[in-house]
Structures are given as structure tokens and as C-alpha cells.
Homo-oligomer: A and B are copies of this chain.
Amino acid sequence: VDLERRPLTEPQVYSLLKEVGAPTPRHKVVKRGEEPAWESFPAYLKIVSEEIYHKSDRGGVVRVSSKEELKGKLKELSEKFPEVEEFIVVEEQKGIEAFIGVKRDPSFLHTVGAGSGGILVELFKDAVFIPLSADKEESLKKLKETKLFKLIEGFRGFKGNLNLFLDFLEKVKELCRKHPEIEELDLNPLFISTERVAPADGKGFTSPPPERREFRELPLELFRPGSVAVIGASNNPAKVGYALIRNLERFRGKVFPVNPKYGEVLGLKCYPSVLDIPETLDCALIAVPPEITLKVIEECGKKGVKLAVVITAGFKEAGREELERELVKRAKNYGMRILGPNTLGFIVPSLGLNASFSAVSPPEGEISFLSQSGALITAVIDRANEEKIGFSEIVSLGNQADIELAEALELATRRGETKVILAYVEGTQLGAELLEFLKRKPAVFIKAGRSSAGKRAASSHTGSLAGDYKLFRDCVECKGGIVADSLEEAFDLCRLLRSYGRLRGRRLLIVTNAGGPGTLASDYAETFGLELAEIEPVKEELSAFLPPNWSRINPIDLIGDATSERYRKAFNVLSGYGGWDFSLVIVTPQSMTDVPQIAHEIVRFRELSKRPVVACLMGGHSVKLGEEILKREELPVYGEPMRAVRSISKAVQ
């Protein structure tokens, strides 16, 4: 039993709401034995108890229609619950049954949940979670994903006052800011009518706010060192200290092997300690046994190292949390930052810098990849080399004893060469801070640990709806980040975001030489919430040169025998037409299809129209050359309409 965790009873919740000016239902607290002074019926009579959380499940809630009934039921409840000292009478309300809840999470702190309410809230799971930092507009955008929103807008006799509901949400946020001790809050049901918004119940818990690590901004040049030492450098190819030195061979800065056992490593002079290096040192890669890392960190601190990359494993992940904390504490004394421990290291292709033990480096590019899994980095680099996807930097976060995802991400938003941030996340401790930076640059997250979401016990409705994954996803999306469901989806998206950033508008134009794939593409557009652009204004102009059996609607089917010339003519007309926001061009290899020439026309279409254009080349060998042309021009190309449309929809702001 957590002694510091205290329940909030219904009257206490109403008092809190009144503090911030949020509406409460008409209600009256009645002490045991008191005569209830209540005249308005029907109403609900309920027990007030710190011990009983789900009152209705226990028979602690009754509907009463008259004064006599109220008196009678009060007597009954008093007998049924001899330990209960207070009761509450609450007016009956009408309207849409919603819920608003608060959950406090150590990473994201307070989030406000909202959605359809009632006792089936956990069955239908119609809920979104909104971080405190979201403004009214961001909250509304997220709220639009719920069925509750459709009810408020008006659905089969239901209708609610959206503004009053949004105001209520804002008041709950204010309440959280004023009362950091609120751990959970359940306002369920909460009734929304056209005139009024008020809860019909309220409960929750308070507890001392969680202790959190501090967000510490990283210096801009931290991952751009001029000199790197490898502590634990080795001439033994089986050792990590060998791989590290070998990987630094192409580094355009200075490299200093450090190891008292050697005079030279791989042809470089080797120093007994960093303190013996005669020049300034920016970065140290540490690959020594865990036991001597503290000594090494002290020396690095004295030397004025800015970044210590602790490759060494065997810390928190092996139960040695104390050693890990001590490492950070010592580094802090010198103002030095630590990456890791248990990290693969980091890579900056533009500097020829592979400060990791990954055998390969990726091409130079515009994606900053931050990963909490080292193994994933090696797989990604291998794939990126094949697909010619480039990176501005790759950072393996390891145990995050010091440098945390949120800090690394913040730094990446400040790097000029980075256009897109890609992050593989298992967990973050600085979720609330992370959200602050998502507007600066497009960021794509792969969040692992979905399956653990449901496993945590939760006493409140709100708590049970907000698993780690759901919270992360909702908060990140609310503040402008993107959560991808798979690595493939994430890469598809990165290629699009690198070329166009976040997209504006919703109107998709589809041009194709095959009906089937065009239909599939429009199916996906609907599934992913895009609109098909209206082409009525250019229909006549297109009909002038297209074959009589062309589709005459969007998707624009140019028919299977479309040549590059026909694509070109269609593009000319469509470039001058303002009725679309982005376009998907589908090409299937038919007998008349000159794929490479059409690829050139697609590039030209993008130039002419000055809008984002994405291609889908379907097939194998026949479309390879076309694919290469488009990749060279950084025009996103996919092998399947689903992946193309999904990428567009996810990139839309």
C-alpha cells in the first residue's frame, strides 16, 4: 500500500473543479443521520468513500425520483455501508455521455484524456490523450479523432456545445498545473449538451509528484568533435578497441589511441592515458572493463573532454545501477556529457566519422537517426547503403544514463544539415520536454513496447485506457510528431519528408496508366483520410487529347497504352491547375510504357507544378531504371500504391 497515495472523493473533486472555475453539477453533501435538503428530482444518491472507488459496481449509487424515495434510499445506503460517513445527492443530467480524465505519467507528466463516456468506456476505447502543453487548437485536432467529436458535432439527435467542452478541457489543464499532486482524475460520465458541460461523477488520486531527471541542453558541436581518443584501443582484432580505431581511419579529425599496454595501435602513437595526449581532446570513446570506467572518466574530465562515449556494457542493464549513477555524477563535476553506457557509439558521415563499433557507415544525408537499440542501427545502415538513404548523424543512445532521447532530439533540431529526425524509442524519461521540440523539424518515431501496454494494472478508467504506447503516440501526434507502425513505414516516410517536409492540404491527385492500381490508391486515400482532388475544371482540357475511354474523374486513368508524351501533356494541364495539393503518379509497365522517360516527365511535373509529387512504379526489372532516375532526383518512389498513399497521409500536417 502506497501511504502517500490518497483518494479524491466526489465532493473533493468538485471543489477542485470550482477552484479553476470549471462547471460542476448541482449537488449536496449529506452527513450520516442528516436530513437531505434537496428538492430537485430525479437525482442520484451516492456514497462518499475513500475506500470504494467503483461506487456503482458496489451498489453505492441509486437513482431517486422523489423526496420520500431519497429519504428511504439514504436510510438503505446508511445501513448497507455502515462505515460510510457522507453521502452526496447529484442532479440528473442529460446530454452526450463523455469522459474527461487525467493521468500523471513520470515521463509526460499530466495528460488529459477525453472521449465517449459511460460504463463501456473501456470497451469502446474511444479516447485520446492530450498533453498539458497542447493549445486549444492542438487539443481540438486530436479530439477530432474520437467518435465523441462526431456526437458533439451532431449525430442522430445528439449535439453538444464544442466550445464549452474545449473550455472545460482547458480548465482541467489549468487544474493540473495548479495541483501537481493530482495523480489521476476520472470525470465519467461528463454530460455535454448544447447549453452546458458538467460531470456527473468525479474521483481520483493524489500523490507527491514523481522525481524526474533534469533536461540539460547539449552543446551544438557535441557530436562534431575535432579530435577523438579511443580508451582501450587495441591491436587485437577480436577487441572492440581495435574495431573502434579501424572505424576512425576515414575520420578527418585527429585520432588518439589510449592504452598503457601499447606504444602504437594500427600505426598511430598510443598514449598510456588521455592525460598524456599533448593536444586538446573533444571526445573519448571508452571501451575498458566497467570496473575502471570511473577512473577513466575522471581522467577525461581533467583533460577537458566534452563527450565521453561509454561503449562498455555491464551497467544498469546488468544490475549495476549504482556504478552507472556514479559515472554520471563524476562527469557532471567536469561539465562533461556521457553517451551510453552500453552504446554502439555515433556516426557522422559528413565528417567521415564512425565513432562506433559498427563495421559499416551509411551514406551522407539529411536524416538524423537516434536509436535506443544498437542492433537496429547496424541493420538500418546495411539497408540504407543498399537503398542509398543518407544520414546526417546516427546516435546510439545506449542506457541513456546521461544523454537522453529528448536532449539528443533537441540537438538534432538545431543541426542545419538535418531535415528529418528518425527515432527508435523504447522509453523516454523526458516525454514532456520532448514534445516541446516536435514543431521545429519533422520527426518520425518507432515506438516499441506496445504489448506491455495492457499489462499494467490501473485502478481508474483513464489509467486503463492510457498504456505507455497510447500515451506516447497521442502526445507526440498532438504536438506535431509522427509515429510509424513499422520500420518500413518509417523509412517510406523519411524519404518523403526529406524531400518535402510536412505536407499542407488534403487534396490528392492520382494519375495512372492502370485502372486497378488507381482504384486501390483511391481506396487508401479514403482509408487514410485524404480527399481526392476535384478535376471537373480541367476535364475538358484533358479530354481534348486523352483517349475517349479515359476515366474523366480522379484517379485520372490515362489508359494502358499511355506513352510518356501522354503523361507529359496531362502533366502540362494539371500543373496549371490549382485544385490539388499533392500528386501520386502511378506507372505500370505495359507495352507502350517507356518507364525511364515517364520518370523524367514526373520530375518535370514536380518542377512545373511546384507541389509535392510522389511516384509509384509497379513491377520489377522493367521499372528499375525509372526508380533510379527518381531516387537521384530525391522524388519519393514506392513499389506499391498503399505505401505511397500511407506516406503522403502521414506526412500531412
User: Which residue numbers of A lie inside 8 Å of B, CB to CB?
Assistant: 57, 119-120, 122-124, 126, 147, 150-151, 155-157, 243, 317-318, 357, 359, 371-376, 378-379, 382-387, 424, 426, 446, 448-451, 454, 469, 485-489, 513-517, 519-520, 522-527, 532, 549, 560, 588-591, 618-623, 639-643
Contacts and interface: CB of A to CB of B under 8 A. Distances in A.
A379 B317 contact: no
Which of A243, A372, A523, A641 has its CB near the most chain B CB atoms (within 10 A)? A523
Contacts of A513: 375
A238 to B, nearest CB: 10
Given A57-B157, A382-B620, A382-B622, 11 more contacts: A123-B155, A357-B591, A373-B517, A374-B560, A376-B516, A379-B618, A382-B619, A385-B620, A449-B519, A451-B519, A488-B640
Contacts of A383: 618-620, 639
A334 B548 CA distance: 35
Contact of A448 (B123, B519, B532): B519
The oligomer's copy count stands at 2
A489 B384 CA distance: 22
A523 B379 contact: no
Contacts of A126: 124
B120 A156 contact: yes
B517 A379 contact: yes
A526 B467 CA distance: 14
B156 A560 contact: no
Given A375-B516, A517-B376, A620-B386, A522 B451 contact: yes
28 contacts: A57-B156, A57-B157, A120-B155, A357-B591, A373-B517, A375-B517, A376-B514, A376-B516, A376-B618, A378-B590, A378-B619, A379-B619, A382-B618, A382-B619, A382-B621, A382-B623, A385-B620, A424-B516, A426-B519, A448-B519, A449-B523, A451-B522, A451-B527, A454-B526, A469-B523, A486-B524, A486-B640, A488-B642
B591 A375 contact: no
Contacts of A469: 523
Given A317-B549, A378-B589, A588-B375, A642 B485 contact: yes
Contacts of A387: 620
Q: 8 closest Cβ contacts across the A-B interface? A: A373-B516, A375-B514, A386-B620, A382-B619, A486-B642, A379-B618, A450-B523, A451-B526
Nearest to A125: B147
A156 B119 contact: yes
A150 B122 CA distance: 11
Contact of A514 (B373, B516, B524, B643): B373
A451 B589 contact: no
